[in-house]
Amino acid sequence: MTGTGKPVSIALANCAKTFADGTRALEPLDLAIHAGETVVFLGPSGCGKTTTLRIIAGLEEPDAGGKVLFDGVDVTHLPIEQRNVGMVFQSYALFPNMTVAGNVGYGLRIRKVPDAQVKARVSEMLAMMQITRLADRRIDQLSGGQRQRVALARAIAVRPRALLLDEPLTALDAKLRDTLRLDIDSLLRSLGITAIYVTHDQAEAMALGDRIVVMEHGRVAQIGKPREIYQRPATRFVADFIGTMNRLTGTARDGVFRCKAGAVAWPEAPATATEILFRPEDIRVAGSGEAASLQGTVASAFFLGDRTRLFVDVGEERPLVIESTARRDFQHGEAVGLAIDPRGLLVL
Ligand code: ATP
């Protein structure tokens, strides 16, 4: 039998994981994932993302006292075959001796679905993943991107209640990653399936996640919508891990933050602030005749086509990163005035 396809809500209660060798991979975690939601686990290597995903999948049990609930039902001790979840890994995990169609239909055949239905369902999945023309190819005759499409088609063919993806795009080159990311996004939206996606790539997390769970050393550092995580990071770790963050050190008084390179008007500046943070898009090179709050010199300029990424020395430990869309060249050592949008300023 294949699943009903009705998306499931997933809850983790007090889920910790200590491996046999004593490695503490996950500190006690509580997490509620809504039915139909895409939640991305994001964090550096070794922070416990995969372990959490494996606990949800039923490939790993949490330490005693931890519980996994699917629609409120305790599944903590149910193995993966009984949870009706689809999985996609970085390494594809396809059957090399079967055709594409054979791989996609595998889960249905072992569930004894009648042949005619398997055939219909396989063609539907191949069409959905735009790989109909590859149906009779062997896996070793496919590119990495095509293999990952087959893996996705295989995972959703059985109408799982949740789709679990562990770094599915990591092995692919940048351009392919972008295309497949778009396709995964539309796939998840059109299926309305509950999806949990593990990645260390913040752009992927921001693009796909309804919510992002940022993890650090086996703990949750922050949970929130991509925009919240980006604009209101809860900790320095989150601020640095996601996107680029500029820093200025100095002192705040009477609504002005003073640093080596100048003074930034910021009416809400907390009097205790000794460091302010802001994103590259909240600072720009001031035009001639325009008031600039800071003065700096261009340390490096990388022309990227649609914009120039500038590194501007302002006497701090690290240069400021600024994205300029101006149609002009910047010279190494050039003096520039800078204007900051105070709405983007943060203190952590
Ligand atoms: P990556 O992005 O590198 O896969 P991750 O965030 O997914 O990292 P996990 O794979 O969850 O991290 O690993 C968390 C920690 O648990 C790491 O320190 C890892 O070495 C350790 N670990 C994972 N599996 C085992 C195991 N079977 N036995 C012992 N330690 C393990």
Q: How confident is the model at residue 4 (pLDDT cuts 50, 70, 90)?
A: low
Give the 3-state secondary structure percentages of the chain, helix then strand then coil, rounded to 5: 30, 30, 40
Alpha helices in the chain (DSSP H): 49-57, 100-110, 115-128, 144-157, 174-191, 202-208, 226-231, 236-241
| CA 222 to ligand 1 centroid distance, Å | 20
pLDDT score for 1? 39
Q: What are the distances in angstroms from CA 226 to CA 120, 171, 211, 324? A: 38, 24, 6, 24
C-alpha torsion angle, residues 91, 82, 196, 38 (rounded to 10) = 140
| Residues in CB range of 198: below 8 A, 6 or more apart | 40, 41, 49, 50, 53, 165, 166, 167
The answer to whether 39 and 196 have CB atoms below 8 angstroms apart is yes
The answer to whether 302 and 330 have CB atoms below 8 angstroms apart is no
Q: Give residue-wise pLDDT tens across range 256-284.
A: 999 999 999 998 888 888 999 999 999 99
| CA 23 to ligand 1 centroid distance, Å | 9
47 Cβ inside 6 Å of ligand 1: yes
Which protein residue's CA is at the shortest distance from atom 5 of ligand 1? 46
50 Cβ inside 6 Å of ligand 1: yes
For 341, which DSSP code?
Answer: -
DSSP reduced 3-state for 290:
coil
48 Cβ inside 6 Å of ligand 1: yes
Residue 95 tokens read as 């059957």
Q: Give residue-wise pLDDT tens across range 162-208.
A: 999 999 998 888 888 998 999 999 899 989 999 999 999 999 999 99
Rounded distance between C-alpha atoms, residue 237 and residue 42, angstroms: 12
Q: Which domains does the chain have, with CATH numbers?
A: 10-241 (3.40.50.300), 246-344 (2.40.50.140)
Q: How confident is the model at residue 315 (pLDDT cuts 50, 70, 90)?
A: very high
Closest CA to 185 of 204, 162, 159: 204
Q: Give residue-wise pLDDT tens across range 32-73.
A: 999 999 999 999 999 999 999 999 999 999 999 999 999 999
